[in-house]
């Protein structure tokens, strides 16, 4: 079917209205109308080609909520009219050891997991286009059930920011009564604070911004530490059992290491770029690990969505119209570490453009992208 959306045709250019063909749902796939899509920092990085792997045209969006409009043969989990979500992946090999253990994000099949955008579709290697579009198609195994207790507009950010912070809490076995540190209180961090509380941890939020203290406390953090306040950092020396570090740019790890307990782990989820040189003695003397973690599998994604529904955990969102996307991306670029809420595109604004016949769009192809890059 003909689909409308917003995409970038080259790096560091504004997104423009685009139109392209999506195939109809095949066996095991579901088609859906997109109702909401969160705006993630990854979207900004991808359309700017900050990671050097973007295939253009690039149509971002991986915090997607929609309503099922059609189902292919053999689909059993969903029916027309259901609210569903799609996060960062739309497919994987489903047979390798990681897929078999519900960690499709680490798929080691021939092409790895298929990312929702800028990911190669199997078997032909076609680029994928994400949720800044009117309609999508997904394999049913990768669709998330949006429970009745969760308003759909809040669902998108949970499937990226939520699961990215929840999955390491599970993997590193965060226990009730332990102390969770969350560094960087933006889109990911504000979810991590709430999820840590729901799991029964004491939460210390580390932020660069004194001005955010009151808001962070409202999210449920037990304490807020401003990282530039050396006295406060010293007071919290060796106090944290697990840290989720969401800072999305290179940061000096030394101050964060200083607040970690013996045998603890700092998990990097936001910075794919570099860590400046640091003296590892404090790691050695306290057997501290610095680790990384990538989003989460489908099972964890469903779990965190259900957990948020049950505990009243919501991302802080601001609804925008599709045509406001370039302004929003510009503000995210400037203020990348600590944006206080997640922008969510009300896709009705896109549907209204299309239904009103007002959508002027550039027609794009789904280019065959060939080899997998950075998937
Ligand atoms: Zn994301
Ligand atoms: Zn796999």
Predicted pLDDT of residue 59: 96
Ligand nearest to the CA of 38: 1
Does one domain contain both 93 and 177?
no
Does one domain contain both 165 and 142?
no
Predicted pLDDT of residue 119: 86
Measured in Å, residue 37 CA sits from the centre of ligand 1 at 11
CA distance 357 to 217: 46
Predicted pLDDT of residue 253: 95
Ligand nearest to the CA of 102: 2
Ligand nearest to the CA of 101: 2
In this structure, what CATH number is given to the domain that contains residue 51? 3.90.180.10
Does one domain contain both 65 and 96?
yes
Predicted pLDDT of residue 369: 56
Condensed to tens digits (0 to 9), the pLDDT of residues 244-281 reads 999 988 999 999 999 999 999 999 998 888 999 999 99
| Ligand 2 ion: residues within 5 Å (CB) | 92-93, 96, 99, 107, 109
Measured in Å, residue 69 CA sits from the centre of ligand 2 at 28
Does one domain contain both 282 and 330?
no
Predicted pLDDT of residue 92: 92
Does one domain contain both 220 and 79?
no
Does one domain contain both 135 and 9?
yes
Condensed to tens digits (0 to 9), the pLDDT of residues 39-58 reads 998 899 999 998 898 999 99
Domain count, the chain: 2
Predicted pLDDT of residue 371: 43
Ligand nearest to the CA of 98: 2
Instruction: Establish if 187 belongs to a structural domain.
Output: yes
Ligand nearest to the CA of 96: 2
Predicted pLDDT of residue 339: 58
Range of the domain at 210: 160-292
Predicted pLDDT of residue 189: 94
Measured in Å, residue 112 CA sits from the centre of ligand 2 at 6
In this structure, what CATH number is given to the domain that contains residue 237? 3.40.50.720
Low-confidence residues of the chain, pLDDT below 50? 337, 370-375
């Amino acid at each position: 079917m003909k689909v409308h959306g917003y995409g970038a045709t080259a790096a560091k250019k504004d997104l423009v209205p685009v139109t392209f063909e999506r195939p109809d749902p095949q066996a095991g796939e579901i088609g859906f109308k997109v109702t909401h899509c969160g705006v993630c920092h990854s979207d900004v990085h991808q359309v700017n080609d900050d990671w050097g792997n973007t295939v253009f045209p690039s149509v971002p969006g991986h915090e997607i909520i929609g309503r099922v409009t059609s189902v292919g043969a053999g689909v059993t989990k969903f029916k027309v009219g259901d609210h569903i979500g799609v996060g960062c992946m739309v497919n994987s090999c489903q047979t390798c050891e990681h897929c078999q253990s519900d960690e499709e994000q680490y798929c080691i099949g021939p092409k790895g997991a298929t990312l929702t955008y800028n990911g190669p579709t199997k078997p032909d290697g076609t680029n994928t286009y994400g949720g800044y579009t009117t309609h999508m198609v997904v394999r049913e195994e990768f669709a998330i059930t949006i429970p009745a207790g969760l308003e759909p507009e809040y669902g998108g950010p949970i499937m990226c920011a939520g699961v990215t912070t929840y999955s390491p809490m599970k993997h590193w076995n965060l226990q009730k009564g332990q102390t969770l540190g969350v560094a960087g209180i933006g889109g990911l961090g504000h979810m991590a604070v709430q999820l840590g509380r729901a799991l029964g941890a004491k939460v210390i939020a580390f932020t660069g911004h004194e001005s955010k203290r009151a808001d962070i406390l409202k999210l449920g953090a037990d304490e807020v530490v401003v990282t530039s306040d050396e006295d406060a950092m010293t007071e919290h020396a060796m106090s944290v059992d697990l840290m989720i570090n969401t800072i999305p740019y290179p940061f000096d790890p030394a101050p964060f290491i200083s607040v970690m307990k013996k045998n603890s782990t700092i998990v990097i989820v936001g910075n794919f770029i570099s860590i400046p040189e640091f003296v590892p003695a404090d790691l050695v003397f306290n057997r501290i690990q610095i680790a990384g973690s990538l989003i989460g599998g489908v099972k964890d994604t469903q779990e965190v969505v259900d957990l948020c529904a049950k505990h009243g955990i919501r991302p802080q969102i601001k609804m925008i119209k599709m045509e406001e996307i370039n302004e929003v991306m510009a503000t995210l670029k400037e203020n990348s570490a600590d944006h206080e809420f997640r922008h969510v595109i009300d896709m009705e604004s896109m549907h209204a453009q299309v239904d009103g016949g007002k959508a002027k769009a550039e027609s794009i192809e789904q280019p065959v992208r060939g080899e997998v890059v950075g998937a």
